[in-house]
Structure 1
């Protein structure tokens, strides 16, 4: 059975996010520089699939299209989850906050499903690239993230993290037991 673009993008994201340091980088870009993790992952996935760089109008359109989902669903759920996590962390085990552990787990699951909805929307906005210049996956990914950084006016400091993210996304995974020396 053929995989839909949305499920292919979701699987790509799960696989990449599970690699060492990728989640840390993505969250730093999100929390310190204002990037949307799902759009970061889309920029990488799109480059992998099409080897075509997106332009600033495409990045802006993607941001506009996912903004309602983020503003009304993902961000409020994330905010609630983070608040509950702080309540749990700051409470003794006998405190009523212990019951919040289940609430935290539920919010985490809802947040993940919300993120998947954003990814589904992004995948649905993928454009046909048949008549566009192709490049390497890494070059397209670097260009996508550079343009994304410019569109949201993120500081130059974010460029280093974005470069690291591209490297981690396209470097072959290290097999267990294989030495790099």
Structure 2
């Protein structure tokens, strides 16, 4: 089966992201994997997007994409931290999130996320040259194991994102939770994202 890579655009990816982000447990899983395994939410969403199109994605692909977007990722993290600091500084004040400043911070962060997604699609040009699978379920099953490998890759190779704290006494517990979150996330991608 051949999928025209013209269907894999940054706009199509953005629409996919909007559709799946708030569905079921997707948001919770994405944020957990971002916070606990230092995986990039947009790359996780992109991996689901590609699997829904029948593309196989490997841990090495995820690493390549992460390296390609690292400057944009760092900028987005700084913007997110600034927005969160502002929200914490006025905690207890419900007007904070309604303020023009907060809305401007959020709009800037969202614009940075969109730019990051555009860069992800560009970085995936070689992936989009691969043949696609007719069995989309297999693409999602493969994705599960490759995301787990990615979490460990980032942990073991540091890449300025420490991933799993491999020296921690809670290593097994944390790795089990990461695997569970990845499993739930891929299940959400396969049901909501098609």
The interval holding the TM-score normalised by the smaller chain is 0.7 to 0.9
Asked if residue 113 in structure 1 is aligned to residue 116 in structure 2, the reply is no
CA contact (8 A) 2:13 2:117 kept: yes
Q: Structure 2 CA distance, aligned partners of 1:130 and 1:91?
A: 51
More moved, 148-157 vs 125-134? 125-134
Q: Deviations over 1:18-50 (max 9, x none)?
A: 21321122111111221110010011001112x
Alignment gaps of 5+ in structure 2: 1-5, 153-163, 165-174
Q: Name the CA shift for 1:77/1:121 in 2 (closer, same or farther; >3 Å).
A: same
Q: Deviations over 1:41-96 (max 9, x none)?
A: 011001112x132223222110100111111x101000001101101215697xxx
Q: Structure 2 CA distance, aligned partners of 1:4 and 1:54?
A: 14
Q: Structure 1 CA distance, aligned partners of 2:127 and 2:188?
A: 26
CA contact (8 A) 2:20 2:192 kept: no
The aligned residue for residue 179 of structure 2 is 159
CA contact (8 A) 1:43 1:141 kept: no
The aligned residue for residue 146 of structure 1 is 145
Q: Structure 2 CA distance, aligned partners of 1:118 and 1:60?
A: 15
Query: TM-score scaled to structure 1, two decimals?
Result: 0.79
CA contact (8 A) 2:37 2:151 kept: no
Q: Structure 2 CA distance, aligned partners of 1:143 and 1:37?
A: 18
Aligned pair count? 166
Shift of 1:141: 2.9
Match for residue 5 of structure 1 among 9, 25, 36 = 9
Q: Structure 1 CA distance, aligned partners of 2:59 and 2:22?
A: 29
Q: Name the CA shift for 1:75/1:99 in 2 (closer, same or farther; >3 Å).
A: closer
The aligned residue for residue 137 of structure 1 is 136
Alignment gaps of 5+ in structure 1: 174-181
Q: Structure 1 CA distance, aligned partners of 2:185 and 2:15?
A: 17
Q: Deviations over 1:106-130 (max 9, x none)?
A: 1111111111111111112233556
